[in-house]
Every structure is written in structure tokens, then in C-alpha cells.
Amino acid sequence: MAALANLADHYNYIITIFLMVAGLYVVIAHGNMIKKLVGLSIFQTSVYLLYIGPAKIIGGTAPIIDAAFGVYSNPLPHVLILTAIVVGVATLALGLALVVRINEAYGTIEEDEIFERDIAE
């Protein structure tokens, strides 16, 4: 019973780590570069959850000050993650631009085929 209560208390962490590990797996195991970048985004989004989860206070509200409320969730992780999201898409676009150039140079976006061509040359 205690273990079940602990699971309910830490369920958000467990899912966060599952997303993180799934992203890591895609980055390692898949050779397709677009898939790799999507995996990297999943990894990145799991970090958003890792920050935002602990910021929540049960019974609190969004951190916009109003006389009607007394308890607010922690605004600091929100600020850090807000900027991280926009930086994340900018870096994703940079990665995809590299993928486009690699596809033009090698005619493929599969890692294995690129390595084979490098060895053949």
C-alpha cells in the first residue's frame, strides 16, 4: 500500500523518465536523422516536465498575482522552460537544415548509408 502511495506521488517523475529514456533510445538506436531529431525533441520535452512538475503546488494557481488567490505555483521553472522551448525549436530547425544539406550531399538521411559511402570513398 505504501509503495502504491509512493507511485501515485512520483507518477509524474516516472513518466518523465520514461519519456527521457524513450528519447535516448531513439537517438541511439535509429539511424534515420529526422527520427533522431524527433527523439531529441522528446528528450528535451521530458526535461520541461522535469522542471514544471515540481513547480506545481496542489491547491495553488498560475503565478499571476490577484487579490482573490493566495497560493501560486513557482514561477521560476516556468521562466526557464519558456525560453528553453523557443531555443529548442531554433536548434531543431538548425539540425534539420543540416539534415537537408546532408541529404543534398549524400542522397540519403540514413546514418548507415552515409558511413558506407564515407568508407567507400
Partner 1 sequence: MSLDLIIRVGTKLILPFILLFALYVQFHGDFGPGGGFQAGVIAAGMVILAAITFGMDAAKRIAPPRLVEFMVPLGVLIYAGTGVVALLMGRNFLDYSVLGHDPVHARELGIFLVEAGVLVTVSGTMTALFYAFVERGR
Partner 2 sequence: MISIVNAALLTLLATVTVAIVRQRSLFGVVILAGAYSFLMASLLIALDAVDVAMTEASVGAGISTVVLLATLHLTRTREAPVRRHNLVALLLSVVVGGALVLGTLALPPFGAADAVIHHHVAPHYLANSVRETGVANVVTSVLADYRGYDTLGETTVIFTAGIGVMLLLRSFRGRRRARDDEDGAQ
Contacts to partner 2 from residues 1-30, by CB under 8 A: 5-6, 8-15, 17-26, 28-30
Q: 26 to each of 68, 84, 89, how far by Cα in Å?
A: 46, 21, 18
* Dist CA 63 CA 43 (whole Å): 26
Does 105 bind partner 2 (CB under 8 A)? Our answer is: no
Size of the site for partner 2 (CB under 8 A): 84
Piece of the chain touching partner 1 by CB under 8 A; list 5-13, 37-45, 89-97, 111-119: 89-97
Does 15 bind partner 1 (CB under 8 A)? Our answer is: no
Does 62 bind partner 1 (CB under 8 A)? Our answer is: yes
CB nearer partner 1, residue 7 or residue 94: 94
Does 83 bind partner 1 (CB under 8 A)? Our answer is: yes
User: Which of 25, 29, 28, 27 has the alpha carbon at shortest distance from 17?
Assistant: 25
* Dist CA 70 CA 55 (whole Å): 16
- Report yes or no: 75 and 52 within 8 Å, Cβ to Cβ: no
Q: Applying CB under 8 A, which of residues 2, 68, 87, 114 lies at the interface with partner 2?
A: 87
